[in-house]
Amino acid sequence: MRDKTMLAAVFEGQGKLSVKEVPVPAIREPDEVLLRVDAASICGTDVHILEVPPGHPATPGAILGHEYTGTVLETGSAVQGLEIGDRVVIDPNLTCGKCQYCRSGMPNMCQSMTTLGIFINGGFAKYNVAPASALHKISKDVPPDVAALAEPLSCVVNGTQKVRAQPGESVVVLGAGPIGLLFTQVFAAAGAGRIVVSEITKARAEAAARSGAHAVLDPREPGFVQRALNETGGGADVVVDAVGTLLPTALDLVRRGGKVLLFGMNQQAAPAVRQNTITRYEISVLGTYIAKYTFAPAIRVLESGAVNADALITHRVSIPNILEGLHAMRSGEAVKVIVTPD
């Protein structure tokens, strides 16, 4: 007999996350799918949601967890292309398909977007219901821990497609959290000539080296900017801010005519912008937000084994112990924390 209740990590507002019993969700619409969650991962966004004041909005009462993978248990009457037992990864960003941005090929700019695991119930639980349109099949040969990386990897692939770094070009990645490490691995796989990573914590600096960085620098040390410039021959072709507050530093490190990619987000941050520097040196500053038709290539990368998951995953916790995983993320002790239902 299927469970009637399950443990879930529920956002209560004002920095509070509660682990409690909630009803198992049921299919209510013909296009929905009931999943058994096999693995989820804690994202930096989850950490920002639980900050006071919050660095990212979320709905009180929602089950968090937007990076997850699961197995199909039941399908609605209108679902096609999915069978019971299929392994899937979830694109948590649900778009309307009708607004001007969705209709012009920019679904990541949807005016009515909502997100599983942030605004509606997500993957920090044993079961989840999601629309079939959000699900992408992935080989069962990919371990659940690795499959849970599909969502952040799809976002990174979107960013790398924007900067179009060429083989041999130099890259600086600011921040060696999970996103920074995935950028490092993707750029390394694409043939970047020199990759420099900036990171302050020991565990993440070591992970950057394992991910393919040629040099890992502590930005707190005197002479950091000059050392980074020396490492890249006077300035990087591409600088990625994976933190969300480091545009001024990125402008210090990019070459004339280079590109700055802004990935990290923090709604409390308001760094000063040196517009004259951008204009005078023809620097391209690009924002990138979530995935945009990039789940398929991300899945291919995971299925190929090109991602070194061991360089990212440092901790594993169950739902009852999820607060320990969040603490490890906040402290910098963890790089990527995998969450399992039991």
- End-to-end CA distance of the chain: give it in Å, rounded: 18
Contact criterion met (CB below 8 Å) for 46 and 7:
no
- Residue 39's pLDDT is 98
Contact criterion met (CB below 8 Å) for 43 and 12:
no
Q: How confident is the model at residue 2 (pLDDT cuts 50, 70, 90)?
A: confident
Examine the pLDDT at 310 and tell me if it is beyond 90: no
Helix (H) or strand (E) segment spanning residue 298 = helix 295-304
Task: Give ∠ CA 90-141-123 in degrees, rounded to 5.
Answer: 25
Question: Taking Cα atoms as reference points, which of 131, 149, 114, 121 lies closest to residue 38?
Answer: 149
Q: How confident is the model at residue 266 (pLDDT cuts 50, 70, 90)?
A: confident
Q: How many CB atoms lie within 10 A of CB 240?
A: 32
DSSP 198-240: E-SSHHHHHHHHHTT-SEEE-TTSTTHHHHHHHHTTSSEEEEE
Average pLDDT over residues 287-294: 97
Question: Taking Cα atoms as reference points, which of 229, 221, 236 lies closest to residue 166?
Answer: 236
**43 vs 296: CA distance, rounded Å:** 21
Provide CB contacts within 8 A for 1, sequence distance 6+: none
Average pLDDT over residues 216-226: 98
Instruction: For 160-190, write each residue's pLDDT tens digit.
Output: 999 999 999 999 999 999 999 999 999 999 9
| Residues acting as catalytic residues | 45, 48
Examine the pLDDT at 63 and tell me if it is beyond 60: yes
- Residue 34's pLDDT is 98
> Which two tokens mark 279?
């204009």
Examine the pLDDT at 1 and tell me if it is beyond 60: no
Percent of the chain scored above 70 by pLDDT? Answer: 100
Contact criterion met (CB below 8 Å) for 71 and 83:
no
Average pLDDT over residues 4-25: 97
**262 vs 250: CA distance, rounded Å:** 9
Examine the pLDDT at 130 and tell me if it is beyond 70: yes
- Residue 198's pLDDT is 98
> Which two tokens mark 74?
């039941």
- Residue 269's pLDDT is 79
Domains and CATH numbers, the chain: 5-149+312-340 (3.90.180.10), 156-287 (3.40.50.720)
Q: What is the mean pLDDT of the chain?
A: 96
- Residue 131's pLDDT is 98
